[in-house]
Amino acid sequence: MTEATAAAENEHEHAEGEEHHGDHPKWLQHHWDTPAQQFDAAKIGMWAFLGQELLFFSGLFVAYAIYRTWYGDAFAAGSHELSRPLGTINTCVLLFSSLTAALAVRSSQLGKKNETTVLILLTIACAFAFLCIKYMEYHVKFEHGLLPGSFFGTPRDILTFAPIPGATSEHAAALPPHTHAFFSLYFVMTGLHAIHVIIGIGVWIWILRRNLRGDFSRRYFTPVDVTALYWHLVDLVWIYLFPMLYLIDYVGPHKG
């Protein structure tokens, strides 16, 4: 430890007069020399994780690109079965939650605890709204038998996954062959995204609890910051998913 740091910490003892483990503030883990070092390490770690998340999702986007080249008309037809208004609303809901997340970081940077609480609650509320709208969309797809792979064409109950007795899907029958491939990708991509939203809600609740407990200050807001980074990534993935799935207008070379 440098002399300058040691001096700084002595000064800190006098300035704050708090109980500390050793000569560190409570929130500064013992293996870091300075708050800046801890903060930078946390951010780099989070960005490495986000880079991994992008590569992880890119596998599905590559699969999407391949199947869309092969079955352009089926993808266009499948896309037209999705609800553009609901998709657009959901996009706006998620973008707004990203705004409130960014503002939550800002208020925690300024040490405004109550404002942070309100903004985190808004973010969580938007996440639930997003999932509710997603549920409504899934519900319609299940009712119409617009399901992945071999499940395609059989209307099913969304909760029990049992086939609905007597129901047949004229919707599914009228679609081009291979539309099931579109719905396979639709459910896997939006489902994986929804899992990320659910995990995000869990993390935000934990951050909310820590905020209410008074863990964060102008000097230490790293957990809020990195959680918001994760939340923005969830938003980023949706930014690409929305036009890829909901807004296909391309109908294939032989028809266009």
Partner 1 sequence: MSEHDTAVHDHAHDDGPYGEAEVHAHIGSYRAYFAVFMGLIFFTLLTVGVAGIHLGRANLAVAVIIASLKAALVCTFFMHLKDDNKFNSLILIAAITFIGVFFALTLNDVDYRGALDTQSGTRVFLQSGADAPGSWVDPIKHEEGPAGEGSKVEPAPTTTSTGSAQVTPESTAPAMSAATPTETATAQSAAPMQSAAPTQSAAPVHSAAPAHSSAPAHSAAPAHSAAPPPSAAHP
In the region spanning residues 111 to 170, those forming contacts with partner 1, defined by CB under 8 A, are: none
Q: Which is nearer to partner 1, 166 or 214 (CB)?
A: 214
Q: Which is nearer to partner 1, 164 or 236 (CB)?
A: 236
- Among residues 21, 26, 29, 88, which is the contact residue for partner 1, using CB under 8 A? 88
The yes or no reply on residue 227 touching partner 1 (CB under 8 A) is no
Q: How far apart are CA 233 and CA 54, in angstroms?
A: 8
Q: Which is nearer to partner 1, 138 or 238 (CB)?
A: 238
CB of 88 to partner 1, least distance (A): 6
- Among residues 77, 172, 185, 229, which is the contact residue for partner 1, using CB under 8 A? 229
Instruction: Give the number of other Cβ atoms within 10 Å of residue 165's Cβ.
Output: 7
Q: How far apart are CA 205 and CA 14, in angstroms?
A: 34
Q: How far apart are CA 90 and CA 67, in angstroms?
A: 25
Sign of CA dihedral 188, 192, 198, 201: negative
Q: Candidates 104-112, 120-128, 191-199, 205-213 — which segment interacts with partner 1 by CB under 8 A?
A: 104-112
The yes or no reply on residue 29 touching partner 1 (CB under 8 A) is no
* Spatial CA neighbour of 112 closest among 125, 124, 103: 103
- Which positions from 8 to 27 touch partner 1 by CB under 8 A, shown as an x/- string? xxxxxx-xx-----------
* Spatial CA neighbour of 46 closest among 249, 237, 225, 238: 225
The yes or no reply on residue 249 touching partner 1 (CB under 8 A) is yes
CB of 157 to partner 1, least distance (A): 29
CB 62 within 8 A of CB 94: no
b vs e for 67-99, b when ≥16 Cβ sit within 10 Å of the residue's Cβ?
Answer: bbeebbbbbbbbbebbeeeebeebbebbebbbe
Q: Candidates 147-155, 159-167, 205-213, 232-240 — which segment interacts with partner 1 by CB under 8 A?
A: 232-240
